[in-house]
Structure 1
Amino acid sequence: MLVVAGAATGGAFGVLLAGPILALLVVLLAPFVAKLVLGMLASRRRGAFAEQLDDSLQLLASGLRAGHSLLRAIDAVSADSPAPTSEEFTRVINETRLGRDVGESLDDTAQRMDSDDFRWVAQAIAIHREVGGNLAEVLDQVGHTIRERSQIRGQVKALSAEGRISALVLMVLPFGLGGFLLVASPGYMDKFTQSPLGFMLMGVAALLLITGGLWLRKVVSFKF
């Protein structure tokens, strides 16, 4: 509904500013822009969850060593951790209070966060519930593995920083150059808004820019 409302609003402004062709272009591009923005926000949230996971496991293991039950330890983590970990663990607690199995809630959390590390945690908890054992020690071992993976992830991120900066410069350059031309020579780009061919060229340029941005994002993104 937000995407539809945004597309309708942008289309209305497009009609007022330059006519129906620009409005149609805005309406067609709105879903792609919304998907791109939503993907960036989701990736940022998942990244924050992954960075907080090590501390969360330490809190969870400490709670278990102190004699708390699993649910009580998860509740303590939800109270002491920052977002988004606190929000996700609070959701697990609320779902279990409504009668859902804690293992299913943890699996769904791992799926929402797209976290292989947290899938290991959920599997370790599920195995412990079936066969028993020292869950705190198991979580410590899982946490140690996660810390090593995080270290490697940080090294790869540092090595790929140049590629990400290059991608950002290439994405911003067309807008910066267009803004400079509008200021330095206001009439230079009028033909783009005075004929159907100009709007068509702007649409093709926008499509190529989005395609190139997605391709560059894929090149500098690594999955662990």
Structure 2
Amino acid sequence: MTMQIWLAVGGMVSALGAVLLVVFLVFRPASAGISLKRRRQGNVDQRYSMLTRFSGAAVGAVERGVGYQGGRLFNRAALEEAGLKMAPAEFLVLLISGSVVASLLGFVGMGPVGAIFLALLVPVIGWAVLNIRTSKRRSAFDIQLPDLLMTLSGSLRAGHSVMRALDSAIAEFEPPMSEELSRIVNEARVGRDPESTMMDIAQRMESEDFSWIAEAILINREVGGDLAQVLDQVGETIGERAQIKGQVRALAAEGKLSAYILIALPIGVSLMLGLINPTYIGTLFIHPVGIVMLVVGVVMLIIGSFWMSRTIQIKF
């Protein structure tokens, strides 16, 4: 009975703290360093809705707390790798708002335990979404590499320079390739070495094939030669590697699907039981034996997930 009281108090305190945090962020007055009239020419309509002012104040307060680059987990680099065009403070405000709403819904449906669980589940979902988007973006980047090499070699044979070939390729490709090529061209215009930018992109996108392209351009700049022919040879190698990767992904698809189902099954069943019969599933969070079983189950789930991920992941 004492543990139930403490869980209830903890759930109410966490839910109240989340609400107070959002209220503090929303109603905190925002101040701009430079007025809007100085930043924009002409007549500026400064009539904004209350929601716009509240959201701007929340984002400004979070940005003052975490900085321009963001924290260690949801920072600007992670958002750029995932292809999200938003600041870290904006993403954090979304996560905080989602946690507050989820905690309130969990408290109404499943009690204090549900409020704490759903409030902590929202950042985990945000982290998973970033990883999934990053993985898809990197896969799309690798798929576009053979076509990029064909475009570059054709432009070089037509007499264009490397930077001109990269600049003309921006309009012919969709994101993420066009975004990364724009980064190369823009940084080259301000004086940075294009090869260094390309190596940074290869490291950020985890693309060994793109690093080969950067090395080929660097070697050609130092020793000379027919760069178009070199890129054709690199393109053939990359195409063969892509074909092997596709075969490996097809063979490992069944194992990945089984791993996803086995990982999601206990979580999904627990959430469904919590919504259908909160008292039944709540015993696990109250009784000492149930708490031990939960801890053991979570540890076994983590170990099994890590084992299956290492089994189905094949490095090239």
Please classify the TM superposition score into its range, dividing by the shorter chain length.
0.7 to 0.9
Structure number having the greater helix percentage: 1
- Mark the CA change 1:18 to 1:202 in structure 2 (over 3 Å): closer, same or farther: farther
Which letter does structure 1 place at the counterpart of 2:265? L
2:57 alignment partner in structure 1: none
CA contact (8 A) 2:146 2:235 kept: yes
1:163 equivalent to 2:255? Answer yes
Q: What is the match of residue 78 of structure 1?
A: 170
Asked whether 1:43 is paired with 2:135, we answer yes
Change (3 A) 1:37 1:206: farther
Cα separation, 1, equivalents of 2:126 and 2:295: 17
**Per-residue Cα deviation, 1:45-94 (whole angstroms, up to 9, x for no partner):** 10111111001111011111111111110012111012211111112112
In 1, Cα distance between the equivalents of 2:125 and 2:310?
A: 17
Report the secondary structure of 1:222's partner residue. coil
User: Matched residue of 1:80: which SS?
Assistant: coil
In the alignment of these two chains, the number of paired residues is 221
The reply to whether residue 191 of structure 1 matches residue 280 of structure 2 is yes
Return the alpha-carbon distance in structure 2 between the equivalents of residues 29 and 175 of structure 1: 11
Equivalent in the alignment of 2:144? 52
> Deviation of residue 148 (structure 1)?
1.1
Q: Find the aligned partners of 1:67 and 1:182 in 2 and give their Cα distance.
A: 67
**How far is the alpha carbon of 1:217 from its aligned partner?**
3.0
Greater shift, 52-61 or 83-92, is seen at 83-92
1:135 aligns with 2:224: no
Matches within 5 A, 1:149-160: 149-160=241-252
Conserved 8 A contact 1:125-1:135:
yes
Identify the range of structure 1 (192-201 vs 100-109) with the bigger mean alpha-carbon deviation: 192-201
Name stretches of at least 5 consecutive residues in structure 1 with no aligned partner.
none
1:108 Cα shift? 1.2
Give yes or no for the alignment of 1:101 onto 2:193: yes
Q: Which digits, 9 at most, give the CA deviation of each residue in 1:190-209, with x for residues without a partner? A: 32146733795668756654
Match of 1:222 in 2: 314
1:9-65 per-position Cα deviation (integer Å, ceiling 9, x unaligned): 433333343333322223434443332221121111101111110011110111111
Distance in 2 of aligned mates of 1:37 and 1:214: 19
Which region of structure 1 is more displaced relative to structure 2, 154-163 or 51-60? 154-163
AA aligned opposite 1:34? G
Amino acid at match of 2:198: L
Are the equivalent residues in 1 in contact too, given 2:202–2:208 (CA < 8 A)? yes
Quickly say closer, same or farther: Cα 1:63–1:99, change in 2 above 3 A.
Answer: same
Quote the Cα distance in structure 2 between the aligned partners of 1:19 and 1:207: 24
In structure 2, C-alpha distance between the alignment counterparts of 1:25 and 1:160, rounded to whole Å: 33
**Structure 1 residues 88 and 39 mapped into 2: Cα distance closer, same or farther (>3 Å)?**
same
Report the residue type matching 2:184 in the other structure.
Answer: V
Normalised by the length of structure 1, the TM-score is 0.83
Task: Report the AA paired with residue 142 of structure 1.
Answer: V
In structure 1, the partner of 2:156 is: 64
Secondary structure of 2:171's counterpart equals helix
In structure 2, distance between residues paired with 1:35 and 1:47:
19
Tell which structure's C-alpha radius of gyration is larger.
Answer: 2
1:202–1:9 Cα change, 3 Å: farther
Aligned counterpart, 2:217: 125
User: Residues 76 and 203 (structure 1 numbering): CA distance in 2 closer, same or farther, change over 3 Å?
Assistant: farther
Tell me which of 183, 186, 191 is aligned to 1:91.
183
- In 2, Cα distance between equivalents of 1:204 and 1:23: 22
Partner Cα distance (1:120, 1:160) in 2: 27
CA RMSD of aligned residues (A): 2.9
Contact 1:64/1:73 (<8 A) preserved = yes
How many angstroms apart in 2 are the aligned matches of 1:180 and 1:50?
39
